[in-house]
A and B are shown apart, each in its own frame.
Chain A
Amino acid sequence: MPEQHPLQNQFFESYEEFSDSVFKHCYFRVSDRDVALDLMQDTFAKTWAYVQKGNDVEDVKAFLFRVANNLIIDFYRKKKSVSLDRLVDNEEDSYEPSENGHMQMIAEAEVGQVMKALQSVEEPYRQAVTLRYVDGLSPKEISEIVGESPNNVSVRINRGLQKLHTVLGEHE
């Protein structure tokens, strides 16, 4: 057996703690479960590569979200257009059913609606709204991740929410 890296246990503890929130963030940003899984895996793989080289990570959560954000930006740079209708309408495995079939349908409809609305919000507002409301981060925490001032972040959140509100209102 190869010798285990001293930080390996700590790394997997972080994985247990943050994998779900990193995945959720990626999912709401890219609207594709498989891509989100890949991005989540790459986020942790890159984080591991970083710490393995002897670099320190002070705030693991913030670091993970920073890496995830960079990967998402890369993804959009490379990405060709993706049919949102296909993603939202045909993605039958996208949600873990939490209750019975009827409740699941309602939940899926809600998720689909929010994701469609989020798609219509432009970056960087979409990023700010996702970090704030999907990931539950404070404007200060977001500012550390995106490298902007907390004030700028608050403005972005507000504008994003405004746009989202308008789009969701149209669906009602």
Chain B
Amino acid sequence: MNNEYQKTEQAIQRATQNVRLSDIEKARVRNNLQRIISTEQTVRVRWFSLAIVRYAVAPALIIFVIIGGVTGVSASTLPGDMLYPVKVSVLEEVRGLLHRDTESRLAYEQERIDKRLFELAELDGSGNLDTKKEAQALVYLDRHIDVIQSRSESMSPDVRVKTESDVEATLRAQERIFAELEKTQVREHLQSAIARVVQSRARAEQALYSSENNLANIALGIQKSAVNLIQEAQNRLSNSEETRLLRQTSVQIELALQATEEGNRYVEAGSFADAIVQFEKGKRMVKESMSFFDAGKRYAFGQREISSEAVSLLREKTEVVEIASAPVESDSLMMSASMSIEADNFIVEPQSPYLYFEDTLKDLVGRAAVPETYINIFPGIKETDFSGVIGVGGVYQVVSGNLQFLETASVANSASARTIESEGYIRLLINIASRLRIELATVEDVDRILSILQQTEGESARSDAPEEDPSILDVKLDVLLERN
């Protein structure tokens, strides 16, 4: 080759090296292909995004929507029905045109995500859900997420953080719901979608730091909204008798309070971008936990062990810690409403299985643990258990059978970026309990899980687990037993 062109060749090659398919994109297209193969038909939903079609055909379609309303293309049409594609890609799209401003359209697309997942849950409830129907709804679900992400790009960083955070809360709650319903394919799809949204949120959070908006006002607005959400959640939970759901939900409310308090400290320090990130985190946790709570009641997976005796026992065992002077109902698990949230002004529930799980693991291996640490210690733990687990600087996801860490924030120390966060321990415990089909209600359930994870053989052990010195296992087990 002519030497004259060497520099040009090198420039192309350097550019080529900097463009590649991300793991998430690769996994996403792979999922799409799997669905295409399983349904043997491609659901085309892209055509409507063409502007010419949107504006030229819209009036006609609006008339069609009106006609559709009287000819039976109703909201109750479900995946698998002949008219389902008409409902989603025509009727709903036309309704979307009525949402002129971007924020309103973003909210509409979020509703559509809920709708798709609700449809799947409805079909599952009636015993009519199969892989084809799952695939059909999930194609549209991806499309709604795509629309949200592309439209929110033009918005200010704080709106982007809010939007991505809301979508993440919805997807996380639904992922837990479908775990309860034992719908593996939907759950895995949602895990992949969550990882995608977490990355977008992290990018939006980074953009906050260079935002020219008045972040102080925005932070205070979000703080108020977070406080209101937490109070609303507390009020609802204090009247609930859904024992298991209450435990699962209250631990997240507790973490939401911690995030909000962290946000308050950032406000005091004048670091408003950090404050917004923390307040949104608090809101996200409340939204996720309350969506899960509502679904739990709707689908009755929170009622499996309800009895008035159990509720009384739980309340007797609950150690209510009241440090501040805010009024607290003595028979309530949660703090009563207060506009000002202080760090120590909420009730700690020491028997929470989630906190117990986190404390036990941290006592065992130290606070800065990563998945490999636990995989080495617990032969019964699987890489897939860490799917969706949040670390300090990213999220773990299983891609093509391998556990990967997808960085979402730049953390100076790459080792600490991978450290599992408190929120991550909740996810880890939910994943393990779901895989082992153990219902989480008490710390005894966590002990049972830990005991199973200790086993090298048996129904939960990994077949490829390396052999360990039995004496080491004895020591670990002793440490665990000492806690009881």
Quick check: A114 and B37 within 8 Å, CB to CB?
A: no
Quick check: B21 and A20 within 8 Å, CB to CB?
A: yes
List A contacts of B46 (CB < 8 A). Answer: 38
Quick check: B36 and A48 within 8 Å, CB to CB?
A: yes
The verdict on B471 contacting chain A, using a C-beta distance below 8 Å, is no
The verdict on A98 contacting chain B, using a C-beta distance below 8 Å, is yes
| Chain B residue at minimal CB-CB distance from A92 | B203
List B contacts of A12 (CB < 8 A). Answer: 30, 33-34
Quick check: A168 and B11 within 8 Å, CB to CB?
A: yes
| Chain B residue at minimal CB-CB distance from A111 | B15
Number of interface residues of B (CB under 8 A): 34
Q: Please, what's the 1-or-0 string for B1-41, where 1 marks a CB less than 8 Å from any CB in chain A? A: 00011011101111111111110011001101110111000
Tell which of B8, B22, B36 touches A45, judged by Cβ atoms closer than 8 Å.
Answer: B36
CA distance A7 to B29 in the complex (A): 18
List A contacts of B33 (CB < 8 A). Answer: 12, 15, 41, 44-45, 48
Q: Please, what's the 1-or-0 string for A4-19, where 1 marks a CB less than 8 Å from any CB in chain B? A: 0100100110011001
Q: Please, what's the 1-or-0 string for A40-53, where 1 marks a CB less than 8 Å from any CB in chain B? A: 11001100100000
Q: How far is the CB of A95 from chain B (nearest CB, A)?
A: 5
CA distance A93 to B21 in the complex (A): 11
- From known contacts A1-B131, A44-B33, A45-B42, infer whether A27 and B19 are also in contact, taking CB-CB under 8 Å: yes
List A contacts of B26 (CB < 8 A). Answer: 19-20
Q: What interface size band does chain A fall in?
A: 35 or more
- Most-contacted residue by chain A among B7, B14, B16, B17 (CB, 10 A): B16
The verdict on B217 contacting chain A, using a C-beta distance below 8 Å, is no
The verdict on B413 contacting chain A, using a C-beta distance below 8 Å, is no
List B contacts of A67 (CB < 8 A). Answer: none
| Chain B residue at minimal CB-CB distance from A108 | B18
Quick check: B12 and A95 within 8 Å, CB to CB?
A: no
The verdict on B400 contacting chain A, using a C-beta distance below 8 Å, is yes
Q: How far is the CB of A169 from chain B (nearest CB, A)?
A: 8
Q: How far is the CB of B55 from chain A (nearest CB, A)?
A: 14
- Most-contacted residue by chain A among B11, B15, B29 (CB, 10 A): B15
| Chain B residue at minimal CB-CB distance from A172 | B7
CA distance A98 to B22 in the complex (A): 11
Quick check: B18 and A98 within 8 Å, CB to CB?
A: yes
Q: How far is the CB of A112 from chain B (nearest CB, A)?
A: 8
Quick check: A15 and B30 within 8 Å, CB to CB?
A: yes
The verdict on A119 contacting chain B, using a C-beta distance below 8 Å, is no
The verdict on A143 contacting chain B, using a C-beta distance below 8 Å, is no
CA distance A5 to B38 in the complex (A): 9
| Chain A residue at minimal CB-CB distance from B199 | A93
List A contacts of B12 (CB < 8 A). Answer: 114, 129, 133-134, 164
Q: How far is the CB of B411 from chain A (nearest CB, A)?
A: 12
CA distance A106 to B337 in the complex (A): 52
Q: Please, what's the 1-or-0 string for A86-116, where 1 marks a CB less than 8 Å from any CB in chain B? A: 0000001111101011000001101101110
Quick check: B16 and A24 within 8 Å, CB to CB?
A: yes
Tell which of A24, A113, A161, A162 touches B9, judged by Cβ atoms closer than 8 Å.
Answer: A161
Contact sample, A vs B, 11 pairs, CB 8 Å cutoff: A2-B131, A19-B26, A19-B29, A19-B30, A28-B19, A41-B32, A45-B36, A92-B203, A107-B18, A165-B4, A165-B5
- Would you list the 3 A-B pairs with minimal beta carbon distance, nearest first? A114-B15, A107-B18, A165-B8
Contacts A24-B21, A161-B8, A164-B8 supplied; 20 other A-B pairs, CB < 8 Å? A19-B21, A19-B26, A20-B21, A28-B16, A44-B29, A44-B33, A45-B33, A95-B18, A96-B20, A100-B410, A101-B410, A110-B15, A111-B18, A113-B15, A129-B12, A133-B13, A133-B16, A161-B9, A168-B8, A168-B11
